[in-house]
Chain A
Amino acid sequence: MWYGREETMQNDELKAVIEALLFASEKPLSVEELKEAFEEKLTSEDIAESLNGLKADYQNQNRGIRLFEMAGGYQFVTDSRLAPYLKRFYQEREKKRLSQASLETLSVVAYRQPVTRADIEFIRGVNVDGAIGTLLEKGLVKIVGRKEVPGRPMLYGTTKAFLDHFGLKSVKELPALSEYTLKDIEPHLLPPELKMVEGAVSDEAEEHSTEVE
């Protein structure tokens, strides 16, 4: 593709501005937030394109820094191949791994949100008071409302901290529940919601897949 000289300049300029904005920012910035920095009318696509270009530049030049999208925002992060050095130098910054109980509870919340405590307990077959308490305390789940059924139980959902902990852009990025293939079991034995979930998560993920990769 042939670009005019001026247009090329403009693209490079846009990338440079975005790079500077992200560098000076004290938090990750979303495409919408970046758009506000420009007076001229730029579309989200323009910004996304520049972000992709910038991302590729860092990748191609094999720098120690990468542009990374996580929890709905862009930020500069270290390249994972350098992890051994960073882990040694910043020992206190190493993140704690979650326990199996926390992780299983979290996976039910992530895929079934908004979800009640009783729903989670039905799937896991154990009391989840402790696990939910831990996850709330860590800010990985939050109360998102109440279910309009007798008792009005609280509904739980995942947070931005959840996306950050697992390095995800959004919950749409979660892989479809695997092994949900129940082909060997009589279909009439399956409750309807079981078939729905598998379809729902994967379909949605495709529909809403982000433009920026």
Chain B
Amino acid sequence: MNYKVHLDIFEGPLDLLLYLIKKEELDIYDIPITRITEQYLETLNLMELLDLDVAGEFLVMAATLMQIKSKMLLPPDPVAETPEEMDPRAELVRRLLEYKAFKGAADKLRDFEGKRSEIFTRFGVEPELSGSDSPFLEVSLFDLISAFSLALKNLPKSDFHQVEKDEFTVAEKVHEIFHRLVKEPVIYFSDLFKSSKNKFEVITTFLAILELIRLKEVLIRQDNHFSEIEILRNVVRA
């Protein structure tokens, strides 16, 4: 079954790098380039495993990281024009800081948006924001992918290889999760994978969650950064 998820919620390679820097508690001004490159490529692999559309920009950044890495391995150029060679990471750091500033500004706008929603005007003068937009996520896709990676690692290791037919479909998993949510108010992300028999089931389950997010049937919540991810039903406002 060819099932490609089109989720337009990637904030791009810079966002992924900032996410990894925060998660690994790295110093943005002194990024251990080998470590970050490894982590970055690992995330990209996971995204590909999920058959998510990995935008070209992610690959360009991967190439940039590897270029910086190789530059740092080389001894300084003896015939360089400037005596103080520029750190190969400088441009990347500059871009990360710039992006971070705008991300901060976006967070402030989010606060304003929240405050504004507490105020009702007369005659409904608020302009109707028509048109489509991607679903708003409380949790970033990178958080979800990290959790997915953990679920994959926790799979029981099987010693022998067996050819299996596709036991699970995304559609079935969507139904399964949805029915669980009718009964339980909250499902923990990790609980969804406890009964998973193999990698294929983990992937199918994960794709089902993405699909439910896309359909705006569920809300994803996380109390603290890197804490357990919760899945809730998005109660339809009648």
Contacts and interface: CB of A to CB of B under 8 A. Distances in A.
Physical interaction between A and B: yes
Contact of A100 (B105, B136, B237): B136
Interface in A138-173: 138-140, 160-161, 164-168
A168 B127 contact: no
Contacts of B29: 184-185
Contacts of B137: 99-100
Nearest to B90: A189
- Give the interface centre of A27, A125, A160 by most chain B CB atoms within 10 Å: A125
A166 B127 CA distance: 12
A91 to B, nearest CB: 5
Contacts, number: 183
Interface string B127-143: 10111111111001000
Contacts of A27: 125
B194 interface: no
B11 A126 contact: yes
B157 interface: no
Contacts of B55: 126-127
| Interface size range on A against B | 35 or more
B23 interface: no
Contacts of A140: 129
A180 B101 contact: yes
A211 to B, nearest CB: 22
Contacts of A77: 119-122
Contact of B115 (A103, A110, A167): A167
A4 interface: no
Contact of A126 (B13, B117, B238): B13
Interface string B4-48: 000011111111000000000000010000000000000000000
A80 B112 CA distance: 13
A36 interface: no
A80 B132 contact: no
A91 B237 contact: yes
B103 interface: yes
A172 B203 CA distance: 47
A178 B134 contact: no
A77 B122 CA distance: 6
A88 to B, nearest CB: 10
B120 A106 contact: no
Contact of B112 (A28, A124, A168, A185): A168
Interface of A: 26-28, 66, 68, 75-78, 80, 83, 86, 90-104, 106-108, 110-111, 123-127, 130, 134, 137-140, 160-161, 164-168, 174-175, 177-180, 182, 184-186, 189-191, 194
Interface of B: 8-15, 29, 55, 57, 61, 86, 90, 93-95, 97-106, 108-110, 112-113, 115-127, 129-137, 140, 237-238
Given A99-B8, A104-B11, A184-B29, 11 more contacts: A93-B124, A106-B109, A107-B102, A125-B14, A125-B57, A125-B95, A126-B55, A137-B132, A166-B112, A179-B97, A194-B94
